[in-house]
A and B are shown apart, each in its own frame.
Chain A
């Protein structure tokens, strides 16, 4: 029977954290027509060796986590976005042009150890 891995508290493990960017907070609502803001989110948390196989990790992260166990001078694997999605922005420029642009990889949908 597998020895139960030491359960690092979940909230410290690598996962997606919510972050809503409100353009009004930045004063950009005066020229951005839509959206009013967007859920950008971010990744944060530990990538312990024992969990790299389950934290949506890359093989590389598994190797790095193992190397970190052997030699702590080697940094742990890091918590990074593994799935991103775009946003569209409608805004007005200084020539009163209305511009619609799509921006890739602006929203973090999933995180993992990489």
Chain B
């Protein structure tokens, strides 16, 4: 049986039996795609397995990569309204060379979308880390900034398109040094409730969850749609 198992794992694109300590949360979109595909197979409706209708992209392998970064706790925060600073890191090594990246969507979940405990307006700054982090340095030197966005909090999940960045990382793994995320609290004089910055940021640190949803197309398994499969 060991032999068959290894063959089956290779067929799945795995080199050994995964032994996850705990199951990651499966986002709604993956469950929906899974159930839509199962329903189509059960009813005999043939679907193009190399096109993800729910996302509008070509691809036959979807991966949700968990964030493997960490928070920075710098004593002298650069700005009084700085709430949190985090390195976001996604391991793309499971993407095989022959696979083509067709989608890379960063999901930043700021916490439940309830309005019972309104938070202050936040400013999100997302920039590329382009130099290795020197230990002892409080935060990595942020490179190219590509998101500066104000969000009312709570806000649920925010999505950002990282396709170009992920393609660059996939082609040049040594460039993958992660992203630098900084969240600031926007001061407003007329803010209804004066938010305790410390509590607000502690709550945000607890609820923040980042993940990268990537879609790849394996050309060996996906013939171009214009050419009928023989």
Can you name the residue of chain B whose Cβ is closest to the Cβ of A107?
B41
Residues of A near B41 (CB, < 8 A) are 85-88, 107
Assembled-state Cα–Cα distance A30/B66 (Å): 19
Contacting residues of chain A (75-104) with chain B, CB-CB under 8 angstroms: 85-104
Q: Main SS of chain A's interface residues?
A: strand
- Are A92 and B24 closer than 8 Å at their CB atoms? yes
Total B residues in contact with A, Cβ cutoff 8 Å: 34
Q: B124 contacts the other chain (Cβ, under 8 Å)?
A: no
Complex: A87 Cα to B18 Cα, angstroms = 20
Interface 9-mer from A6-14, A31-39, A50-58, A62-70 = A31-39
Q: Judge whether B30 and A98 touch: CB under 8 Å.
A: yes
State whether B94 touches A97 (Cβ < 8 A): yes
| A30-B20 contact in complex given A93-B94, A97-B66, C-beta closer than 8 Å | yes
Q: Are A100 and B49 in contact (CB under 8 A)?
A: no
- A27 to chain B: closest residue by CB: B17
- B60 touching A90 by the CB < 8 A rule? no
For B46, the chain A residues whose CB sits under 8 A away are: 85
Residue A26 is within 8 A (CB to CB) of chain B in the complex: yes
**Contact in complex: A92, B20 (CB < 8 Å):** yes
Q: Which candidate, B32-40, B73-81, B154-162, B189-197, is the interface stretch facing chain A?
A: B32-40
Chain B residues, Cβ within 8 Å of A102: 37, 49, 60
- Are B24 and A96 touching (Cβ within 8 A)? yes
Q: How far is the CB of B219 from chain A (nearest CB, A)?
A: 15
* Closest chain B CB from A43 CB (angstroms): 18
Which listed segment binds A: B8-16, B171-179, B200-208?
A: B8-16
Q: For the complex formed, measure the closest distance between the CB of B177 and the CB atoms of chain A, giving whole angstroms.
A: 18
The answer to the question of B23 belonging to the interface, with a C-beta cut-off of 8 Å to chain A, is yes
